[in-house]
Structure 1
Amino acid sequence: MDRFENMRIFTKVVEASSFTTASAGLGLSTSMVSQHVKQLEERLGARLLNRTTRRMGLTEVGRAYYDRCKRLLSDLEEAEAAVGRMQVAPRGDLRVNATPVFGVLHLAPAVADFTARFPSISIEVMLSDRIVDLVDESFDVAVRVEPLPDSSLVARQVASCRMVICGAPAYLKKHGMPRTPADLANHNCLTFTGTSYIRGAWQLGSSKAEALEVSPRGNLRSNNAAVLLLAALEGQGLVALPTYMVGDAVKSGRLRTVLDDYAPPPLTIRAVYPHGRHLSAKVRTFVDFLAARFGREAQWEGRPKTSGTTAACQGSRKHRGKGAIHVKKAA
């Protein structure tokens, strides 16, 4: 008799607390069920069940063996299900959440290509700055840059990006190039006021591997990073934004990065989904697609054009509308 079949029948007998009840559920005769259990006990050389005419119970060895059997059978079932999923074309409705800027600039083109490749999947994309509750709000996947607050979620890295400080060439020509974080006090800094990994205080590194926190000052604040990006492109000041937002502008020279020697650690972009024993084909396929599309060096991470030390960027360091700037070591 097959060993896994013996184990499966043994667990059914334990859960039914009766050979007769288990045999009815399994569609086997009581004598056949008893034979399976007997063969297990003979192979193991140990009694698994104490049986009387009125009741049946597990021995101490039987309890330990039952627990192991449950785990093994569960793993076997999951392995077989995984093979089955590989043979099934992904289909169904998929609800995806992402931040507005990443969603518009990068996720939307990816979704268009994905639905063209997998027409049996219908996608609803919802964009929001807040961190949604995937389970309560019925989202299958979220694409997030923020640190993960919920350890029950499964997260897979699909890309990385950097936070950079940058400004338009015309702005740098007029107001000069900051060489240290303290020089930001002489610049108009465009700041973010929302709740996001893009913070009002700018997180920087240093040559001594110390974390620095800069409290910038300027005449424009917004809870929408796109507003700050447009202002920076118009030469209104310096802005600290992720490369997935400013990468194209930096590569084309419309923006130039500054203080590159003080860059903070890279950010991680993740596909996040609720934990499930069996990941659906549609979610698995979508996450695999994002990882393949963005996993290599992302297009926004091309080498930036820095401002250098040219005379054109050595203009006046004075700019109206600013105040003292506070630089401190981050905790």
Structure 2
Amino acid sequence: MTLRQLEVLVKVVEAGSLTRAAGVLRMQRSNVSRALAELEAELGVVLLDRTTRRQSVTEAGREVYGRAVGILEAVAETHLLTQRLHDDPRGCLRLTCSVEYGMVVVGPLIEGYLARYPQTTVEVEYASRDIDIVHEGFDLAIRGGPLPDSSLVARKLGRFDYGLFASPAYVAARGAPETPEALGAHDVIHSSGQDVRPVWTLHHPQRAAPVRVEGQPRLRVNTGAAVRSAVLQGLGVAPLPTVMARAYVAQGQLQRLLAPWHPASVPVYAVYPQSRHLSPKVRAFVDLALSAFSAAESGEGGPR
């Protein structure tokens, strides 16, 4: 019996199929099937009832799965303890985030991380969905906004401040709104993950009560990067992170509208699995991100 065979069993049970487990483990499906068969032969029991359409875990399989999870967690903890003796980040850091957070947060951080820690490598998966980082084998995720309740650790890095932006061409053609209520007459670039109609709550630093305004959705897209691209093309008005828009404003490609009115800031978190011993490679990346956000909020720079 090998640790790899136990890992294969755990991933197959958690993924629900050999094919999905093979993707997580980065193995051929035939090798996953072989590892399971060898484990079953060594233990003398059937762990999974497999058919062409579905699989189910046997009673023996559930028992072995529970023991395997405990063994693998103990091995991982032992590895982390020995890494802490070195205390030098090393190995491959696997992280995931959205495309827009990759552009604004992760991309600039990776360069500094790799330069500072030469014994590390980084693998990033940009995704429009929230990946299950435990089952899919990621060390870390960068996420924004309210987080669902889970067993994961969420470390707040900082926040993204937002503003309303449009291109100079759009403003020349349609004019700039002078009050929040005037946005109702403007075209809006809308994220398809939001409500059917965009309703923005705008805040003012000198007013206690925010203002809710509704725009006319001219275009719906499904990522923040696509929203920014549409605004740059002059298709309408949209909220953008100020750190994302800053360079385009400096180059004359975007204009901020209605300042100092602004949408609510969005908190940004580093999310990772619970562990008594956080690995040096994860801790180093989180510390670097915390420093970057701290510098941005003190006016010394952006997340980088």
Normalising by structure 2, we get a TM-score of: 0.64
Whether 2:111 is the aligned partner of 1:112: answer yes
Q: Distance in 2 between matches of 1:237 and 1:154?
A: 38
Match of 1:204, as an amino acid?
L
Q: 1:105: Cα distance to partner?
A: 4.2
Match of 1:132, as an amino acid?
I
Q: Give the counterpart of 2:199 among 201, 224, 228.
A: 201
Which residue is 1:168 aligned to? 167
Q: 1:100: Cα distance to partner?
A: 0.6
Taking a change above 3 Å as real, the CA distance of residues 300 and 235 of structure 1, as seen in their structure-2 partners, is farther
Matches within 5 A, 1:77-156: 85=84, 87-156=86-155
Taking a change above 3 Å as real, the CA distance of residues 104 and 265 of structure 1, as seen in their structure-2 partners, is closer
Are 1:248 and 1:300, in contact at CA under 8 Å, matched by a contact in 2? Answer: no
Q: What CA deviation, in whole Å up to 9, does each residue of 1:108-132 have, x standing for no partner?
A: 2321331232122222111112222
Are 1:201 and 1:216, in contact at CA under 8 Å, matched by a contact in 2? Answer: yes
Q: Distance in 2 between matches of 1:163 and 1:245?
A: 9
Are 2:200 and 2:263, in contact at CA under 8 Å, matched by a contact in 1? Answer: no
Q: What CA deviation, in whole Å up to 9, does each residue of 1:206-230 have, x standing for no partner?
A: 5542244333113222112222222
Q: 1:300: Cα distance to partner?
A: 5.1
Question: Pairwise CA RMSD of aligned residues?
Answer: 2.8
Taking a change above 3 Å as real, the CA distance of residues 167 and 86 of structure 1, as seen in their structure-2 partners, is farther
Which residue is 1:266 aligned to? 265
Aligned positions, number: 220
SS in 1 for 2:243: helix
Q: 1:142: Cα distance to partner?
A: 0.7
Q: What CA deviation, in whole Å up to 9, does each residue of 1:301-321 have, x standing for no partner?
A: 9xxxxxxxxxxxxxxxxxxxx
Taking a change above 3 Å as real, the CA distance of residues 185 and 195 of structure 1, as seen in their structure-2 partners, is closer
Match of 1:152, as an amino acid?
S
Q: Distance in 1 between matches of 2:160 and 2:240?
A: 10
Q: Distance in 1 between matches of 2:219 and 2:118?
A: 44
Matches within 5 A, 1:37-76: none
Q: Distance in 1 between matches of 2:87 and 2:116?
A: 15
Q: Distance in 2 between matches of 1:123 and 1:282?
A: 10
Task: Point out where structure 2 has 5 or more consecutive residues left out of the alignment.
Answer: 1-79
Task: Point out where structure 1 has 5 or more consecutive residues left out of the alignment.
Answer: 1-80, 302-331
Identical counterparts, % of pairs: 36
Are 2:176 and 2:257, in contact at CA under 8 Å, matched by a contact in 1? Answer: yes
Match of 1:252, as an amino acid?
Q
Whether 2:281 is the aligned partner of 1:286: answer no
Match of 1:226, as an amino acid?
A
Q: Distance in 1 between matches of 2:203 and 2:291?
A: 30
Are 2:185 and 2:215, in contact at CA under 8 Å, matched by a contact in 1? Answer: no
SS in 1 for 2:295: coil
Match of 1:274, as an amino acid?
P
Q: Distance in 2 between matches of 1:240 and 1:267?
A: 12
Q: 1:87: Cα distance to partner?
A: 4.4
Taking a change above 3 Å as real, the CA distance of residues 287 and 185 of structure 1, as seen in their structure-2 partners, is same
Q: 1:83: Cα distance to partner?
A: 11
Q: Distance in 1 between matches of 2:135 and 2:149?
A: 13
Match of 1:114, as an amino acid?
Y
Are 1:202 and 1:215, in contact at CA under 8 Å, matched by a contact in 2? Answer: yes
Match of 1:285, as an amino acid?
A
Q: 1:98: Cα distance to partner?
A: 0.9
Are 1:190 and 1:221, in contact at CA under 8 Å, matched by a contact in 2? Answer: yes
Taking a change above 3 Å as real, the CA distance of residues 131 and 296 of structure 1, as seen in their structure-2 partners, is same
Match of 2:202, as an amino acid?
L
SS in 1 for 2:296: coil
Match of 2:193, as an amino acid?
G
SS in 2 for 1:94: strand
Whether 2:256 is the aligned partner of 1:257: answer yes
Which residue is 2:209 aligned to? 210
Which residue is 2:12 aligned to? none
Are 2:239 and 2:263, in contact at CA under 8 Å, matched by a contact in 1? Answer: no
Are 1:166 and 1:258, in contact at CA under 8 Å, matched by a contact in 2? Answer: yes
